[in-house]
Structure formats: C-alpha cells, structure tokens
Amino acid sequence: MASHKVTCLSLIEREYDAKMAPVGAWQLAKNFPGGATSEERHTRTYCSVFNRCHTERMRVTGKGIVAAVSRLITGTEELYPVDSCVCGASGNDKYTMLVMADDDILLLSDRRGAAAGLLAEVDGIELCDLSDVLAHLVVAGEKLDDVLNEFELAPENRPETGKTVRTPVAEVNTILLNAPELPVPALSLIFNAEYAEGMWEEFVDTHPVKPAGFAAYDALTQEDAAEEQ
C-alpha cells in the first residue's frame, strides 16, 4: 500500500505535536494540542496560521490565457489587469487566478491535478506545476492586522479585494492575497518553499498566533459557505 504524501511543513508540524491524519493522498496536520475546536475559537478571537502546501499552484503561460481561464472559472472572458486576483469554480473545484503578466498566470486550486484537467482543451499554453516549489500559508483571525503590524507590513503593502501584492515578508519575497473563503480576516502567502519552515515559525512565534490544522480550517470554511447560502 502506497504511503501518504507529506508537505514541506510536515516535519516541523510533528515537532509541535500535531495530530496527523490522512486526507486523500496526503498525511496532514489535523490539529495541534488543545484540539480543533480550540483552534477554531482561537482563530475567531485572535489569529492562527494554517499550512495549505498540499494544494495546487500551477503556472500557466500562453497567448490569451487570462481570458481563457476567466471563461472557464467565471463564465466571462474578462481581460483582468496584472496583479488581479479572480476567484471562480468549475465543477466541484474552486480556483483562484493570479494575473502575474499579460500572458502569465498562477492558478491556485484546493486539489492537485485540477488545473491540468481544467485546461485540457485549451490550445497553445504551457503548464508548469509549482506546487512543490512554492509554499502556501494562510494567516487568519480577528487580530490579523495586529500580526501584520508586527511584521512591519504597512497598510499600503496589503492587498485590496481582487488584487495581489508582491512584497517581502520576514525578508522573503511573497505574493499576498486575501483568502475570502474564511469568515474572519485572512491572508494567503505564496513564497519559495525553501523558506517554508522559517516563515511558519516566524508566525507561530508572533503573539497571538498559534498553529492550526485542517479540521479547524474546514470548519471555518464550511460555516462561511453555509452563511452565503
């Protein structure tokens, strides 16, 4: 029987006594000491950092790719400008399109392999899977602004809705975007996976941030989805 995959943060999560559990092909941190309910409550009141490195990060290049992906995930062929951030869905998969240049996007999905399936019938494009090259963290909670202040991340360097910002965080070049799937203020950080453990620990060591697992994340996103219905 094949072993489960692990992320670039699995080792350090185990050092923090994470309870690991299988999710599809992955072995992920379900929760840390104290339990998922405590983590969900802490996120609502203070702030938590979530490991999302098991998700997909696919670079897609090619003439007209912005309009093509826009059509597939939003139903309209919008020509979004550089540094736009567009959310949409196709089938059961949710996507976020980050427009890096006129013919260059970074496509995020919760499921590895989703982008290749989505773009199978689009001609003249190139796919480059960066899922193991780029790390993905989500920092979320009511005290998010206080945490970003600790990182000396000025308000003008924080993304507006529908936009991305490229700026150093803890001296690491990072793409920032809002994470609207959560019912509290939340920020996604995309950066070189070489710095994943260091970045994760920088947040964990910043008051009042605590590490949280996928059980709390899923509970929060499901509640947000229920409120939208």
pLDDT band for position 2 (cuts 50, 70, 90): low
Count other C-beta atoms under 10 Å from residue 179's C-beta. Answer: 20
Q: What is the mean pLDDT of the chain?
A: 94
What pLDDT is stored for residue 229 in this prediction?
45
In which element (H, E) is residue 224 found? helix 214-228
Backbone angles phi, psi at 136, to 5 degrees: -140, 115
pLDDT value of residue 50: 98
32 pLDDT exceeds 60? yes
Does the structure show a pLDDT above 90 at 225? no
Tell me the average pLDDT across 44-68. 96
Q: What are phi and psi of 210, to 5 degrees?
A: -130, 150
Question: Stretch 88-108: mean pLDDT, rounded?
Answer: 95
Q: Is the torsion defined by CA of 127, 128, 131, 134 positive or negative? A: negative
Residue pair 127/59 in contact (Cβ under 8 Å)? The answer is yes
Give dist(CA 102, CA 139) in Å, integer.
Answer: 29
pLDDT digits (tens, 9 = 90+) for 159-197: 999 999 999 999 999 999 999 999 999 999 999 999 999
What integer pLDDT is reported at residue 170 of this predicted model?
Answer: 95
Predicted local distance difference test score (pLDDT) of residue 65: 95
pLDDT at site 1: 42
